[in-house]
Amino acid sequence: MKPTIALLPSALLGPAVWQPVHAALTRRGWDVITADGRGSSTAEVQSRYLDGLPDDRPYFVVPHSNAGLYVPGIVAVRSVAACVFVDAVLPGRAGDVPVAPEPLLVLLRDLADPDGMLPPWTEWWAQEDVAALFPDAEVRAQVAAEQQRLPLSYFEETVAVSADWSRVPAAYVAFGETYADECREAESRGWPTTELTGNHLHMLHDPEGTAEAIHRSLP
């Protein structure tokens, strides 16, 4: 059976961030699922991703951003033929991996309200920088409407990574410099890597080019 491409959006965003690429891959003849990972704890996020991926088929798993942390948990319980990390966090080789690095936690602790809740992701940064992430106001509104407010406690959690996840073939697609360190790490692991010039949500600006990069990265 030809694997289904499973697009995983960040837990901070919803399926709309992948919708143009989903459509582009479908036009190329792929069966595609976009799994919604929105949840308020790492356990809930992992469960939501798995709920979106029926266990009756193999997958090519394609995470974006912090969805990369959850790939080992998916590999453990689903049939995964390969992974393509797209401007995504790389899981550690094994052990407990922090959801957020300490510099980001410093920022988030300043943003949390008295109840420990964070504003939506697009309110973490300067608005001129956020505007540049989107091709137009309509797309920004669609993506922003699916954002959730997460508790600070989510980012203080860790995700358990089992060493055997790395038996699955993998590749990396980077958008600009946001995840340059991860791209170099992927190269050090011997993975095929592709670099597209753009920002962290480049797939919204160039869904066809992103779909082609994913397609070419698959075994």
**To the nearest whole percent, how much of the chain has pLDDT over 70?**
100
When comparing pLDDT for 166 and 6, which is higher? 6
- Residue range 77-136, pLDDT digits in tens: 999 999 999 999 999 878 899 999 999 999 999 999 999 999 999 999 999 999 999 999
Distance CA 195, CA 83 (A): 16
Residue 39 has pLDDT above 90, yes or no: yes
CB 50 within 8 A of CB 28: no
Domain assignment of residue 19, given as a range: 4-217
| Amino acid 98: pLDDT | 95
- Residue range 142-176, pLDDT digits in tens: 999 999 999 999 999 999 998 889 899 999 999 98
CB 204 within 8 A of CB 139: yes
Q: The domain spanning residue 72 has which CATH number?
A: 3.40.50.1820
- How many Cβ atoms sit within 10 Å of the Cβ of residue 69? 26
Total structural domains in the chain?
A: 1
